[in-house]
Amino acid sequence: MREPLIFEINKKGRKGYSLPECDVEEKELKRLIPEEYLRKSGLGLPEASELDLVRHFTRLSQKNVSIDTNFYPLGSCTMKYNPKVNEDIAHLSGFAEVHPYQSQNTVQGILQLLYEVEKLLCEISGMDKVSLQPAAGAHGELTSMMMIKAYYEDKKEKRDTVLIPDSAHGTNPASSHFCGFRVVEVKSNRYGGVDLNDLIKKMDAKVAALMLTIPNTLGLFEKNILNISEIVHNKGSFLYMDGANLNALLGIVKPSDFGIDIMHFNLHKTFSTPHGGGGPGSGPVGAKEELVPYLPIPTVEKGEENYYFDYNRPKSIGKVRSFYGNVEVIIKAYCYIRSLGKEGLKKVSHNAILNANYLMKRLKRSFYLPYEQPCMHEFVLSGENEKINNIRTLDIAKRLLDFGFHPPTIYFPLIVKGALMIEPTETESKETLDAFASALIYIAKEMREKPHLLKNAPQETSVFRLDEVKAAKELKLKWQGTLDE
C-alpha cells in the first residue's frame, strides 16, 4: 500500500497536540523581537490529528530495512545487532543530563568512565594511550595523520608521502591528502595482500607512514605483516592501522603485537552503537609512546583524589572535537566491553570469522571468489566476473531486496570487478545465514534462466526500481505542491 506524504494527509484546522492555557502575561511578538526578524508568512507545516500522525510514522517505520527487522550483511561497515540494554544505560539521567560546562568536581563519574574506556581500549589494542575525542572513523584517521605530521615537524624531518594499498578505504587517501601529504598507492599481490616488492620500491626517507586496514577490505589478514612492519620501521616511518575491521581481531591479537604505531577504533561499529543513518559515531585514536605527546587535548587523567582534564600538553595537535567527543557512544562501548569481558570479546571475533567462512563456503560455487582462501570477518565475491545475460552486481543487489535481505556492499573494494562484499557478523544464526545463502544461490540461477526478474527488481518493496540516472539528474528533495492540495 502506498503511504501518502505527511502533507497529503493535511486537513486544515486539525491538531496533533494540546497545550495548557498560558499562565504568564501574553505579549505580541513584535514587542519582543525586532520586526525585521519576524516571519512574514506561515510555517507551511502540515495539520493532522495525533492519531493520523502516529499511524503515518508507524507505517513508515515498518517500511524501513533495519538491523531489527532484516539481515544486514554490509561489508566493511559491521552492521551488527547491538544489545538494547546499552542504549538504556546511556540514557540514564546521570549520563544524559550531564552538561559539558559543569565543573570537573561535579562530573567525576563520567570522567572515571571515560578514563576506564581509554584503559580498556589500550588493553584491547596494546596502544599506550588513547584519545576519545574524534567523532568517527574518518575523523580518527585525520587525527592520526595530523599527529604524524606534527611529530615529523617537531623532529625537523621533511616527510611528505603516505603509502596506501589499492584495497584501502577511500577515507585513507582523503585524510592523508587533507593533511598535505602526497598519496602513493601500493599494489596488492595475487593473494590479496600487500605486494612486498612494490612496497620496498616505494618505501624511502620521504614516507611518513603506511596506512593499512587489518584485516583488509577483502576480509584477509595481512600474512606478511611482520615483514611489512620491519620494512616501514627500518625507514623511520610509522605504521598506521585503520581499525574499521577490528571486529575480527578482538581478544585474538593486539595490533601492537604486529608493529602498529597508531590506529583508530570505530566504537560505532565494533563496540555497540547502531551504525548507519549518518551517526553518531566515535573514532578514538590510540598511539604508542612515541606519538602520545601529540594526542589531542584535553586527555582524561587520574589524580590522587579525582579525575581531571589535562590541557598541559605542549606538543598536542590541539582540540579536534568540541567538548570530549560523542560521549553517549563512548558510554555504550563501555557497557558492551564490560558486559562481555575478555573471553566474550574473543568469542565475538571467533563467531564473526566462523559465520563469514561458512557463508563463503556455501556461495563460492555460485559466484566467483577471486581470493580463495580462509577469510576473517568478511569476504568478497564477484557478480560480474563472467557477464551472464548482461546482469550487473547492482541487479543482484536489487533482487536481494525482494527476498527480504539488505544487499551487501557492492562495487568495493575496487580491485574486484563487480564486488559483493559480505560481512555476516557474529550475531546472526545459522538459519539466517542459510536463508541468505539460499536466496543468493537462487538469484544466481535466475541470472541464467530468468534475467528479466533481476533487471526489474525490486518488485516486493514499497518503492520499485528507480531510474538511477534520472534520480541523479532530477533531484526532488522537497514537496512540490501546496497544503491545500
**pLDDT on residue 329:** 95
Task: Please compute the mean of the pLDDT values over residues 292-314 and round it to a whole number.
Answer: 96
**pLDDT on residue 277:** 65
Same domain, yes or no: 293 and 213 = yes
Q: Which domain holds residue 279?
A: 85-339
Same domain, yes or no: 146 and 129 = yes
**pLDDT on residue 485:** 46
Structurally, the chain folds into a number of domains equal to 3
pLDDT digits 0-9 by tens, 157-189: 999 999 999 999 999 999 999 999 999 999 999
Q: What is the CATH number of the domain that holds 91?
A: 3.40.640.10
Higher pLDDT among residues 279 and 325, named by residue: 325
**pLDDT on residue 480:** 55
pLDDT digits 0-9 by tens, 262-271: 999 999 999 9
Answer whether residue 390 shows pLDDT above 90. yes
Same domain, yes or no: 437 and 356 = yes
Same domain, yes or no: 104 and 167 = yes
Same domain, yes or no: 372 and 424 = yes
**pLDDT on residue 468:** 83
Same domain, yes or no: 220 and 89 = yes
Considering only 198-207, 274-283, 362-371, which range has the smallest mean pLDDT? 274-283
Same domain, yes or no: 326 and 423 = no
Answer whether residue 482 shows pLDDT above 80. no
Note whether residue 477 is domain-resident.
Answer: no
The pLDDT mean for the chain works out to 94
Same domain, yes or no: 369 and 335 = no
Answer whether residue 380 shows pLDDT above 70. yes
Sheet containing 182-186: order of strands: 129-131, 285-287, 262-265, 238-243, 207-213, 161-165, 182-186
**What pLDDT band is residue 64 in, cutting at 50, 70 and 90?**
confident
**pLDDT on residue 77:** 87
Note whether residue 157 is domain-resident.
Answer: yes
pLDDT digits 0-9 by tens, 219-236: 999 999 999 999 999 999
Same domain, yes or no: 375 and 289 = no
Note whether residue 28 is domain-resident.
Answer: yes
Note whether residue 419 is domain-resident.
Answer: yes
Please tell me the pTM assigned to this model. Answer: 0.89
